[in-house]
Amino acid sequence: MTILVTGGAGFIGSNFVLDWLAQSDEKVVNLDVLSYAGNLENLASLQGDARHVFVQGDICDRTLVDRLLAEHQPRALVHFAAESHVDRSISGPGAFMRTNIEGTYSLLEASRQYWSGLSDEAKAAFRFHHVSTDEVYGSLAPHDPAFAETKTYEPNSPYSASKAASDHLVRAWHHTYGLPVLTTNCSNNYGPYHFPEKLIPLMIVNALAGKPLPVYGDGQQIRDWLYVTDHASAIRAVLDGGRVGETYNIGGWNEMANIDIVKTVCALLDELRPDPAGPYSRLITYVKDRPGHDRRYAIDARKVERELGWRPAETFASGIRKTVQWYLDHPDWVARVQSGAYRDWVSQQYGA
Ligand code: NAD
Ligand code: DAU
């Protein structure tokens, strides 16, 4: 048996592929365009492994997607590929509309065509698993209940609006055509191979380089953090046992303010790689806020626990320690992802 994964060279996708092949021998066909966020180095340990077939290509390319489905006959498609960074969606929304909306549409149509030609048994077994985000639900006030699957969609950024649009397409392809879909809406992930444009890896790499740690606004925005391999295990659980057409919220039961995340990273670095110049927290710098910045996200993950018995394995304390250690152990990976394009982004976003 085979699964087709999109975006499997990105942060979560590569962790998912590595985790999948560590747990089973089921082949993975991995379709990824290798945008700035895609990195084959994340998958280096799979070199020469016949269970992993990497295809460089665009999910918007229907001919290619049709060919891969016909050739590999997957029993499931797990869709990670996306433009994923909120700040980039603010400065350049076009790529988000194309990949996140048109790309999902292209995969849905290709899957529908492929699925309708399957035998009854294969048809019943096929799954289109859409990997989405908690950001589609909008922003919570301090005492609001956490996001349940029934929460209305109120996306606030071009990124979250494009993901919300893709969620609606997935829902409609099930409702109208009967395509067997599953959607997971997950909170903020962290862990190995996280591209250092996002909060946690940016703070680690900047601190190690003695650079300012830019905290947006007052730093009191709250996110619900989940270690990335827990996200991978949640997707496996939903793919195995999730009810077709349902959505499942995935989260870490771990709400934290950004400034506390940054202070935790600094404290771990003080312990693991002390800086003779003084505590890393001296580098914390409050900067201009993100336009339209969502104040709080929190996931109510009771449905996936109740129906499928899934809970995160890592605590934040164990996951963040592993993460900081991973970055300390992989200076070459960090150096290589900080290419010219990365430096251009950093200077555009944070100025001098
Ligand atoms: P990422 O930006 O690290 O990786 C995205 C991957 O998609 C890259 O490998 C990139 O090359 C690939 N890609 C981009 N455009 C493509 C295209 N047109 N065709 C084929 N491949 C393309 O993203 P991530 O953080 O790993 O997120 C993966 C998915 O999970 C996304 O759908 C995102 O919305 C969702 N998600 C992310 C988080 C998070 O905290 N990072 C949380 C919840 C949900
Ligand atoms: O909630 C899930 C989402 O989490 C995913 O759908 C997105 O793909 C993923 O990028 C992430 O979005 P966020 O905007 O929450 O993540 P980011 O790491 O960019 O920012 C986390 C918080 O930290 C947010 O409140 C903004 C703040 N921040 C971020 C950066 C990059 C800073 O204060 N300074 C920074 O330099």
Quote the CA–CA distance of 31 and 62 in Å, as a whole number: 12
Point out the catalytic residue in the list 137, 159, 280, 327.
159
Residue 85 has pLDDT above 70, yes or no: yes
Per-residue confidence (pLDDT) for residue 167, from 0 to 100: 99
Residue 86 has pLDDT above 80, yes or no: yes
Quote the CA–CA distance of 85 and 107 in Å, as a whole number: 21
288 alpha carbon, distance to own chain's centre: 25
Ligand 1 centroid to Cα of residue 7, in Å, is 6
CA dihedral 83, 86, 90, 92 (to 10 degrees): -20
Mean pLDDT of 29-54: 97
Per-residue confidence (pLDDT) for residue 254, from 0 to 100: 96
For residues 136 and 63, the answer to whether their CB atoms sit within 8 Å is no
Token pair belonging to 306: 């109740």
Residue 44 has pLDDT above 70, yes or no: yes
Mean pLDDT of 38-65: 97
337: number of CA atoms within 13 Å, CB side?
26
Per-residue confidence (pLDDT) for residue 54, from 0 to 100: 98
Per-residue confidence (pLDDT) for residue 340, from 0 to 100: 84
Each domain of the chain, given as residue ranges in start order, spans 2-190+227-251+294-312
Ligand 1 centroid to Cα of residue 14, in Å, is 10
Strands 52-56 and 27-32: parallel
Q: Sorting pLDDT into bands at 50, 70 and 90, what band is 74? A: very high
Burial of 170: CB neighbours in 10 Å, binned 0-12, 13-18, 19+: buried
> Would you call 154 a catalytic residue per the annotation?
no
For residues 173 and 129, the answer to whether their CB atoms sit within 8 Å is no
Q: Sorting pLDDT into bands at 50, 70 and 90, what band is 352? A: low
Q: Sorting pLDDT into bands at 50, 70 and 90, what band is 14? A: very high
Architecture of domain 2-190+227-251+294-312: 3-Layer(aba) Sandwich (3.40)
- Atom 8 of ligand 2, residue of closest alpha carbon: 84
Residue 247 has pLDDT above 90, yes or no: yes
For residues 310 and 233, the answer to whether their CB atoms sit within 8 Å is yes
Mean pLDDT of 46-50: 96
Ligand 2 centroid to Cα of residue 210, in Å, is 21
User: What's the chain's average pLDDT?
Assistant: 97
Quote the CA–CA distance of 57 and 33 in Å, as a whole number: 4
For residues 238 and 182, the answer to whether their CB atoms sit within 8 Å is yes
| pLDDT (tens digit per residue) in 266-288 | 999 999 999 999 999 999 999 99
